[in-house]
Amino acid sequence: MGLDLIGYKPWNGKRTEHNRRFLVIADSIVKQKLSSRWLLGLLILGTFLVHIIPIILNSLRPHEVLESSVMIDYMEGGLFYIFDIILVSLVCSDLIAEDIRSNSIVLYLSRALPPERYLIGKWLGAMSVICLFTLVPPLAMSVAITATQTGPDYVASLAVIGQTFLAGLWTALFLVPIGLMISALTNKKTYAGVGTFMFFFVLSIVAAILSQMSNDWTLLSPQNVLNDTYHVLFGLTLPGDVNLVLLGVMAFALTVPPIIPVYYRILRKGVGK
Amino acid sequence: MIYISNLESSEQGGATTTDSDPSGVSEAENTIIATDITVQYDSVIALDHFSINIPKGIVGLLGPNGAGKSTFIKTVLGLVMPQHGDILVDGLDPRKDVMSIRDRVGYMPEHDCLIDAMTGVEMVAFFGRLSGMSKEDTIPRSHEVLDFVGLGEERYRPISTYSTGMKQRAKLAQAIVHDPEILFLDEPTNGMDPLGREEMLTLIGRIGASNKSILVSSHILQDMEQICQHVIIINNGKAIMQGTMAALLDQGDSRKRLKVRGKPDSILKFVEHLRQKLEVLSTSEEYGQLTIVLTNRGGSDVILNLARDDGIQIRAYLPDRITLEDVFIRSVKEEI
């Protein structure tokens, strides 16, 4: 490798995409994740095991209309949740941890990119990938069931499609902040990946143990919180023993506060602390 | 702080100290003006009432490790907010216009900071886009700057496989992809072999020739001496000296270095006689030879006569040359 004797050429173009910087980060994450064979393999396997079979079975089964109970039974499945958390662990593990380890976070923040936009870019990238599993297949299933329905009430089916959209989006919204938080707490992506999975897994076990004292403790489990919020989103009545206020508090606690340490960690790392 | 300018002459050979014009240029020509900046991390004071004016051109920011060089760059970039003082970058205040400043700046950090999973060209294009360039513009521009920094086919390899020299080139490429007006280079030759170092300095010189303001932070003084037009020396968070490179290294024609040999008592007598006739600045002994730095505006016959009378051999009598290293060590020692 020798020095190429080309002189420095100033660039006379105009920079016009200042407001799209966070989209550049999100776009880069989606491309990087979808070029990973491991992740792609997991997505394909999960889609086949979790989504394809229910889509075929529910479409073939005689039905008059798309019912929310069908969708909720499908989305509450344990396998769906397990693949969700494995996927979140894999997708989010390196998002911030790797930038901290490699110090590239300094390059991001030395650009005209405020920490919050950096964070939004990372969040949006993770959301886009996770939604490929939590949003797109449920939507496909709801559309497939609607397309094969025998009854005339397409408006009701359309409403359930809308609710499915919200539920799929909510699943990603619910899971990604924890993944980002744990990724920001370490500079090793392996720790972040295992840590994210263990966070969801351990909380579920602890909730199962403590629920013997009071049923409210079941809401310590992210899976239970997610399943109960599906009931709310699909307009179904919650199981009688679920405390709605506590459900709201837990849904909030698992989605909003985890972003705060991420933000401050980015701020600190940006100045090299 | 001592401001050295070669615009005025003085008794000490053309260079002078002045408190009125920090950089030797008018205020309008200064890219960065820092006044009384204080930055404190917990109990550590990184910049202590730090005041400098940075003119256009290639400016060297010199100082020992931990002197506050990187903190100053981060303060200019708005990554660190000063607790006290004012700072202006192209007339903009990092406290209010931090994003406008960052849009004008390219930054090459000291440590590894590249995205290992990307190839060189992907990474440069990515940071071009993060600087607001469109997708259509970034690809040709990325190849252009990678050609410029001398990364050939390696640009298609993942950065994780790069050598230190290639990484330094890639870091420079990402800093210039958006053609910034101001460039901050933090230890640009860090970890490079002598050939790579030379090439990196040539690249910096070429960028500087295109009317950019480049602030190079380094403790490799030979590198700085080679490329910088202006130098700022900092220590313990304070700017202790600044001026043009020519003024800093200009010792004047009258400053001479005299090397003599002889019997110890004859040498002592010679030095004493010399002090009576000329200004002796310093003496140092090495391997039985005495080196005397003195000021002599007249001819050499005074010295030759004294040496003959005292029985001293003159081994050398030359104009005294000073390196940036000498200036640096002297100014840091004076500060201590």
pLDDT in tens, A102-122: 999 999 998 888 899 999 999
Q: Which two tokens stand for residue A98?
A: 């790797």
Of A1, A13, A107, the CB nearest to B113: A107
**How confident is the model over B91-106, as a mean pLDDT?**
90
| A24 vs B contacts (CB less than 8 Å) | 126, 129-130
Domain architecture of chain B: domains with CATH: 2-249 (3.40.50.300), 255-320 (3.30.70.600)
Among chain A residues, the shortest Cα distance to B75 is held by: A271
In this predicted structure, the answer to whether residue A153 has a pLDDT above a threshold of 50 is yes
Of A1, A16, A110, the CB nearest to B77: A110
**How confident is the model over A162-189, as a mean pLDDT?**
95
* C-alpha torsion sign, points A120, A124, A130, A135: positive
Angstrom distance (rounded) from CA A30 to CA A43: 13
- Across the interface, whether the CB atoms of B174 and A107 are under 8 A apart is answered yes
- Indicate the average pLDDT of chain A: 91
pLDDT digits 0-9 by tens, A14-38: 887 777 889 999 999 999 999 999 9
Count contacts between A and B (CB, < 8 Å): 116
Of A3, A8, A111, the CB nearest to B199: A3
| B152 vs A contacts (CB less than 8 Å) | 1, 4
Angstrom distance (rounded) from CA B235 to CA B241: 9
Q: Which DSSP helix (H) or strand (E) runs through B278?
A: none
Percentage of chain B beyond pLDDT 70 is 90
**How confident is the model over B76-99, as a mean pLDDT?**
89
| B133 vs A contacts (CB less than 8 Å) | 13, 15, 17
- Across the interface, whether the CB atoms of A111 and B210 are under 8 A apart is answered no
Angle at B130 between CA A43 and CA B32, to 5 degrees: 150
ipTM comes to 0.88
**How confident is the model over B52-60, as a mean pLDDT?**
90
pLDDT digits 0-9 by tens, B300-333: 888 999 999 999 999 998 888 777 777 777 777 7
pLDDT digits 0-9 by tens, B130-143: 999 998 999 999 99
pLDDT digits 0-9 by tens, B146-166: 999 999 899 999 999 999 999
Angstrom distance (rounded) from CA A40 to CA B171: 31
- Across the interface, whether the CB atoms of A102 and B114 are under 8 A apart is answered yes
In this predicted structure, the answer to whether residue B19 has a pLDDT above a threshold of 60 is no
**CA nearest B231: which of B90, B78, B69, B77?**
B69
User: Hey, of A104, A116, A118, A273, which one would you mutate to test binding to chain B, going by the most B CBs within 10 A of its CB?
Assistant: A104
User: Hey, of B76, B130, B142, which one would you mutate to test binding to chain A, going by the most A CBs within 10 A of its CB?
Assistant: B130
Q: What's at B101, amino acid-wise?
A: I
Q: Which two tokens stand for residue B234?
A: 């900092």
SS3 assignment, position B287: coil
Among chain A residues, the shortest Cα distance to B211 is held by: A10
Q: Check residue B22 and give its pLDDT.
A: 47
Task: Say how many C-beta atoms besides its own lie within 10 A of residue B327's C-beta.
Answer: 22
Angstrom distance (rounded) from CA B127 to CA B164: 20
Query: How far A15 CA lies from chain B's nearest CA (Å)?
Result: 5
In this predicted structure, the answer to whether residue A205 has a pLDDT above a threshold of 50 is yes
In this predicted structure, the answer to whether residue B10 has a pLDDT above a threshold of 50 is no
Residue B10 or A264, more confident: A264
Q: Bridge partners of B280?
A: B294
| B103 vs A contacts (CB less than 8 Å) | 15, 18, 112
Our measurement of the distance from residue B278's CA atom to the centroid of its chain's CA atoms, rounded to an integer in Å, reads 34
Query: How far A17 CA lies from chain B's nearest CA (Å)?
Result: 4
Angstrom distance (rounded) from CA A137 to CA A47: 7
How far lies B131's CA from each of A23, A263, B104, in Å?
Answer: 12, 21, 9
Angstrom distance (rounded) from CA A52 to CA A67: 18
| A100 vs B contacts (CB less than 8 Å) | none
**How confident is the model over B172-186, as a mean pLDDT?**
94
Neighbouring residues of A111: CB distance < 8 A, sequence distance ≥ 6 = A21, B102, B127, B130, B131
* Pair A172, A127: CB distance under 8 Å: yes
* Pair B169, B124: CB distance under 8 Å: no
Angstrom distance (rounded) from CA A1 to CA B166: 9
- Across the interface, whether the CB atoms of B74 and A272 are under 8 A apart is answered yes
Q: Check residue B8 and give its pLDDT.
A: 37
Angstrom distance (rounded) from CA B334 to CA B186: 25
**CA nearest B32: which of B59, B14, B65, B13?**
B59
- Across the interface, whether the CB atoms of A6 and B131 are under 8 A apart is answered no
First to last CA, chain A: 36
Q: Is A116 on the interface with B (CB under 8 A)?
A: no
- Across the interface, whether the CB atoms of A13 and B133 are under 8 A apart is answered yes
In this predicted structure, the answer to whether residue B267 has a pLDDT above a threshold of 80 is yes
- Across the interface, whether the CB atoms of A272 and B41 are under 8 A apart is answered no
pLDDT digits 0-9 by tens, B186-244: 999 988 899 999 999 999 999 988 888 999 998 888 888 889 999 998 888 888 888 88
pLDDT band at B78 (very low <50, low <70, confident <90, very high): confident
Backbone angles phi, psi at B64, to 5 degrees: -70, 170
| B112 vs A contacts (CB less than 8 Å) | 102-103
Between the CA atoms of A75, A80, A81 and A84, what dihedral angle is there, to the nearest 10 degrees?
A: -110
Q: Which two tokens stand for residue A89?
A: 């662990």
Q: Check residue B211 and give its pLDDT.
A: 82
* Pair A80, A171: CB distance under 8 Å: no
| A18 vs B contacts (CB less than 8 Å) | 103, 132
Query: How far B122 CA lies from chain A's nearest CA (Å)?
Result: 10
Query: How far A14 CA lies from chain B's nearest CA (Å)?
Result: 7
Query: How far A99 CA lies from chain B's nearest CA (Å)?
Result: 7
Q: What's at A14, amino acid-wise?
A: K
Candidate from A82-96, A195-209, B277-291 with smallest mean pLDDT: B277-291
Q: Check residue B13 and give its pLDDT.
A: 36
Q: Which two tokens stand for residue B192?
A: 């490079």
Task: Say how many C-beta atoms besides its own lie within 10 A of residue B287's C-beta.
Answer: 5
Backbone angles phi, psi at B113, to 5 degrees: -150, 15
How far lies B212's CA from each of A12, B58, B74, B183, in Å?
Answer: 14, 8, 19, 7
Angle at B91 between CA B89 and CA B94, to 5 degrees: 50
Among chain B residues, the shortest Cα distance to A11 is held by: B179
* Pair B202, B225: CB distance under 8 Å: no
* Pair B327, B262: CB distance under 8 Å: no
Among chain A residues, the shortest Cα distance to B101 is held by: A112
Percentage of chain A beyond pLDDT 90 is 73
Angstrom distance (rounded) from CA B231 to CA B245: 6
Neighbouring residues of B42: CB distance < 8 A, sequence distance ≥ 6 = none
Query: How far B213 CA lies from chain A's nearest CA (Å)?
Result: 13
Strands B84-89 and B255-261: unpaired
- Across the interface, whether the CB atoms of A16 and B111 are under 8 A apart is answered no
Whether the predicted model's global pTM rises above the 0.90 cut: no
In this predicted structure, the answer to whether residue B262 has a pLDDT above a threshold of 60 is yes
